[in-house]
Amino acid sequence: MEPSGNIIERYKFPYEMVLFHCCSKYPAVINEVYLKKIETYIENYECDIGYSDHTVNEGVIYRAVALGANYIEMHFDLDDMEGWESNVGHCWCAKYARRVIRNVRNGETAEQYSNTDTCFRDDKSDPEDGLRPMKCKRKIAFDSVFP
């Protein structure tokens, strides 16, 4: 990686740049991907960081995003896994790639701040037993009284 890192620091590019972490095996073996390197890139380079996936594993992509990857590059087959590159084993079927993208976006939405905290609203009944406050608030109160 150092030669690429030196290029990033040496030249001031007139456009935005993304540095992608990648295991160049096709398909990549999960225990050889070393996603923790994404954190090192974030700490050392002033550019967006991405991950180029060759594992075809949803968990790997979710973890790359959680570690800070701003971009994900996926190989996918528009021919319903009948294309020549699919035989190598690193291509996503389009419907599964779509699901991963949707799930990443759902995770980003869930992370956003909301000014409504249903767990601590006294006016809302718990859907399981209809009692107020919500069970989660009752549990917090119970746990503080009876540790």
CA distance linking residue 73 with residue 79, whole number of Å: 18
Give the separation between CA 120 and CA 60, rounded to whole angstroms: 34
pLDDT at position 72 is 93
Sequence spans of domains, the chain: 2-112, 116-147
Of 35, 8, 3, 30, give the one whose Cα is nearest residue 19.
Answer: 8
Backbone angles phi, psi at 74, to 5 degrees: -125, 140
Spans in the chain with pLDDT lower than 50: 1
Quick one: pLDDT at residue 109?
86
Q: pLDDT per residue over 17-29, tens digit each? A: 888 999 888 888 8
pLDDT of res. 113: 65
Which residues lie closer than 8 Å to 78 by C-beta, 6 or more apart?
94
Which class would CATH give 2-112?
Answer: alpha beta
Going by the DSSP 8-state scheme, the letter that residue 84 receives in this structure is G
pLDDT confidence of residue 59: 93
Q: What is the pTM of this model?
A: 0.68
Compute the distance between CA of residue 39 and CA of residue 140 in angstroms, rounded to an integer: 35
Q: What is the pLDDT of residues 103-119, one digit of tens each?
A: 999 988 888 766 555 55
pLDDT at residue 92 in the model: 83
SS3 42: helix
Is 82 within 8 Å of 94 (Cβ atoms)? no
